[in-house]
Amino acid sequence: MKRLAVLISGRGSNLEALLGAIQRYGWPIEVACVISNRPNAGGLDIARSKGIPTEVIDHTQFSDRSAFDNALIHRLEAQQPDLVVLAGFMRLLTAEFCARFRHRLVNIHPSLLPAFKGLQTHQQAIDAGVRIHGCTVHLVTAELDHGPILAQAAVSVRHDDTAEALAARVLKMEHEIYPKAIAAWLSGQLTVEDDRIIDRGEGAFPTGFMSCQLHPDLA
């Protein structure tokens, strides 16, 4: 059984999608704990309703980013996770943290990296006039929104899109690809060589994983 530790800051929609996929596909994966840096994160209630241990490490109670990360490292290492999953975790992590969990730390970013790093990615895409937008699952490095890419999904940008409407379509794709990319990584289907992801076509358990997916309006 593979163990996950999930870090959240907000409503927990990607956490909920992950839990649903694990149950639906019967993957040998368990979410061992959910940790939030915000006491009122909605995702904590989702975890508690499933009987998953939760913890709050409030970043406002620490003197600096390094002190917070050190506390987080201590709690995570006690759980011995095979993978640390960032699911809407709105904190920049130190280089030391990223190095400690190298190749065991995964994130989903709401753009087709390397385009539109940082925040407000959907408005960035609209302002840039691109026709295609989406999301990216990647291993985390110390560089912001950077690292070997596990999966991407694309949606069209419509002429009348608002950031909110575009975000809703991208979020649906996040819920599709993030759980499967996590499962493919844990199964050994995906490996990393020279900072590039290799898809070996099969792993220790079936995932139905495809590294690139299109929204139905692009298919």
Domain assignment of residue 142, yes or no: no
- Looking at the DSSP bridge assignments, the partners of residue 135 are 153
pLDDT value at residue 219: 60
> Which residue in this structure is represented by tokens 């990216």?
136
Same domain? For 186 and 82 the reply is: no
Rounded average pLDDT over 40-48: 98
Q: Which domain holds residue 199?
A: 108-136+150-219
Q: What is the dihedral of CA 5, 9, 108, 129, to 10 degrees?
A: 180
Two tokens at 59?
A: 């970043």
| Residue 215 annotated in active site | no
**121-128 and 163-187 are packed helices; what angle lies between their axes, rounded to 10 degrees?**
120
Q: What are phi and psi of 83, to 5 degrees?
A: -150, 140
Longest dimension (CA), the chain: 49
pLDDT value at residue 218: 80
Question: What CATH number has the domain bearing residue 9?
Answer: 3.40.50.170
Same domain? For 213 and 114 the reply is: yes
Rounded average pLDDT over 31-42: 98
Mean pLDDT of the chain: 96
Same domain? For 119 and 50 the reply is: no
Residue of 59, 74, 109, 122 marked active site: 109
Domain assignment of residue 67, yes or no: yes
Same domain? For 219 and 112 the reply is: yes
